[in-house]
A = this chain, B = another copy of it.
């Protein structure tokens, strides 16, 4: 496993193919430091003996200790640990820990490449496993590139005026393929050692060229990363961990990029486009059952701390609002736990989180994110919006007045109160906050996408059968034998992990 420093060294060695603010920039540009700080935590904690049981795993490919972010989920336990690792990691970085997308794409590819090979006699899985060993051994950071620009949303990929608005294969050669297109919203793209490309949606006949998956190094020829950086405002005097956090989102262009066959993991097997896109999405929604509770934790912790400083901690409506934040956090977390308990072992060995639970969990998070900020704003009052600048707290003409009038509870140092308010200001009234509000709605799939996934996976017919039985439309015998006994047996099978233990 690498250290944070080795990770940074790696970035410095990469060829410059990142643009920002009109310039081509190096990966150690100071503006990227905030993103590097976040990813650095994933190295620190894996190397810290106090955290390693959660942040590392044993590779089933090599038997070696690896960073859990690069591990294939094989058991319900792996799912539970992944979820908790993310929650803990996110606490440290005031939000997204940023290394999950790669993990979730890797896990989806592990499953789907196996299933393509089973059906088509291809060798994608073998190639992928080789790549994965390299990825694990070198403790690399992967960035999943899924979202195509999509052009006119009322048209399918093959109906677009410009066929490139979904990334596609434009040429197949003996040694590899040429791909053209772009992938947007690629978190960590400028920090990623590897960019892992997968389709964004179900594909229909005639869209074979869009059924493509592969991995290339982040600085590969023809890959162009146009980056958006969102960082918390830096501090001049009252430095704090939150002031060192940020995120890079790359608009990644594939300008006729060559990918050698050993790095191609799907090419034309159209019917697997949807399953791969969805398995990634479901894995990533499972990740959200870890990170979104962490976001709620931070919001509730900040709100509760400020209420304490204000002397309003026991006020009834504030307590109820705090408890609502707990409700969101723990229902979403519960859904992740249930997705582990009712997980599904796939033929490849990959243990898939239950699709119903990851979707109801992620949707609940996405539907509530603005509501959670609403609660935070409600409890925080207007001061995060109008707090004077740090410099005015330093200027001797204004400092005494600001300290005198900012102070709330007498027994709390005004500096702590100031720090708390300044953090609230970052959390509520900064561009960085807005970016995470939007990401809270859309990251991992918008609530509407989860609704579609829920409806697509739920046994709604079995629910109708209950209604038919109760209404007298279906007989008791039929209901029991066709529906209910089956459901009971499936349940008992699912929870065997507990039964075996209890013996």
Contact = CB atoms under 8 A, between A and B. Distances in A.
Given A419-B471, A420-B467, 14 more contacts: A19-B392, A50-B480, A80-B341, A224-B398, A228-B385, A228-B387, A242-B472, A300-B460, A301-B462, A301-B468, A302-B471, A322-B460, A382-B442, A422-B471
Number of copies of chain A assembled together: 4
A152 B409 contact: yes
A134 interface: no
A20 interface: yes
Interface in A13-57: 19-24, 50-51, 53-54
* Dominant secondary structure of chain A at its interface with chain B: helix
Interface in A274-304: 297-298, 300-302, 304
Interface string A76-94: 1100110010001001101
A3 interface: no
A80 to B, nearest CB: 5
Interface residues of A, number: 172
A386 interface: yes
A327 B422 contact: no
A378 to B, nearest CB: 6
Interface string A91-120: 110100000000000000000000000000
Contacts of A181: 405
Contacts of A140: none
A470 interface: yes
A231 interface: no
A255 B401 contact: yes
B495 A81 contact: yes
Contacts of A364: 327, 331
A166 B483 CA distance: 38
Given A238-B472, A316-B316, A430-B434, A388 B226 contact: yes
17 contacts: A19-B392, A51-B488, A76-B498, A80-B498, A88-B488, A185-B382, A226-B402, A251-B401, A301-B463, A327-B454, A330-B335, A331-B360, A334-B357, A373-B437, A381-B446, A385-B435, A431-B431
